[in-house]
């Protein structure tokens, strides 16, 4: 029987994507990267999906890294292509028009941390470990780790994690800004799904506007970022959801957003 790299289920308006290679600690091989790319491409255009949760199968790992056995045989050109393949998929996740939450249930190392960092929010079990240990294999991060970690945690922490290659616990990851929240392992799914449900109930076009503004603003100067924010703010005034949200506030009722 061929391996099924992903398990996908829907809970209301929340899509749950699980990397399903527990015997390999959910390591990312080429087939899994392609499956993730296809799953997120489909979710982006599915009007029934308003938020996505990404996690790993089994009790040990979110994703423990890229598949070392597969990488061991690559030529330099193939290695670059593998890096670009992973980067394209993770950029797709980062540019999703709907919020994506990484539910970090165990090891998120190397490509696993890179995958978590391209998500919009990261909720970690208190037993989770994260890191960029590529140096221990004679490698460097290849799926965007040096760039996203730098933007999340700063230069000093990025140099420490990448040069020393030692994992850190969830509490330190939160202190460095790598993860948003740390919860007891037994409560991880409940707490993550609670946040996902909240996001799924928010105004979809406003969520998209926020994601766009932050993505653009993180890569440009303040004046350009402010101009982009103002243009997106103006566009929101053309939506039914904006009228519904402000009317509901004035009428002291709960809004019913429809994504229009």
| Identified catalytic residue from 114, 160, 189, 244 | 114
Q: Which residues of 138-153 are buried (b: 16+ CB within 10 A; e: fewer)?
A: ebebbbbbbebbeebb
Bridging pattern class, strands 6-11 and 14-19: antiparallel
Least Cα distance to 215 among 93, 69, 70, 101 occurs for 93
| Residue 221 burial by Cβ neighbours in a 10 Å radius (0-12, 13-18, 19+) | exposed
- Among 53, 19, 42, 89, smallest CA distance to 3 is for 19
d(CA 102, CA 52): 9
- Dihedrals φ, ψ of 153, to 5°? -110, -10
Q: Which of 3, 70, 134, 191 is catalytic?
A: 134
Instruction: Return the DSSP state at 259.
Output: -
Catalytic site includes residue 134: yes
Please provide the distance, in angstroms rounded to a whole number, between the alpha carbons at the two ends of the chain: 44
Three-state DSSP state, 84: helix
Known catalytic residues are 114, 134
């Amino acid at each position: 029987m061929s391996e099924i790299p992903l398990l996908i289920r829907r809970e209301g308006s929340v899509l749950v994507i699980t990397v399903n290679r527990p015997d390999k600690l959910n390591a990312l091989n080429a087939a899994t990267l392609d499956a993730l790319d296809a799953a997120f491409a489909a979710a982006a255009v599915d009007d029934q999906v308003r938020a996505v949760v990404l996690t790993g199968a089994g009790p040990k790992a979110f994703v423990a890294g890229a598949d070392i056995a597969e990488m061991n045989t690559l030529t330099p050109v193939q290695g670059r292509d593998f890096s670009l393949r992973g980067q394209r998929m993770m950029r797709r996740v980062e540019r999703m028009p709907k919020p994506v939450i990484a539910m970090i249930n165990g090891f998120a190392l190397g490509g696993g941390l890179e995958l978590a960092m391209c998500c919009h929010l990261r909720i970690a079990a208190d037993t989770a470990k994260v890191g960029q240990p590529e140096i221990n294999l004679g490698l460097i991060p290849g799926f965007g780790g040096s760039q996203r970690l730098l933007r999340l945690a700063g230069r000093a922490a990025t140099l420490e994690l990448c040069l020393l290659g030692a994992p850190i616990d969830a509490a330190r990851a939160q202190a460095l800004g790598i993860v948003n929240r740390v919860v007891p392992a037994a409560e991880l799914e409940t707490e993550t799904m609670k946040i996902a449900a909240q996001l799924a109930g928010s105004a979809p076009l406003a969520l998209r506007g926020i994601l766009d503004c932050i993505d653009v603003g993180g890569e440009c100067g303040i004046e350009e970022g402010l101009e982009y924010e103002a243009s997106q703010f103006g566009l929101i005034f053309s939506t039914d959801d904006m009228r519904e949200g402000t009317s509901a506030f004035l009428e002291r009722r709960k809004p019913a957003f429809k994504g229009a």
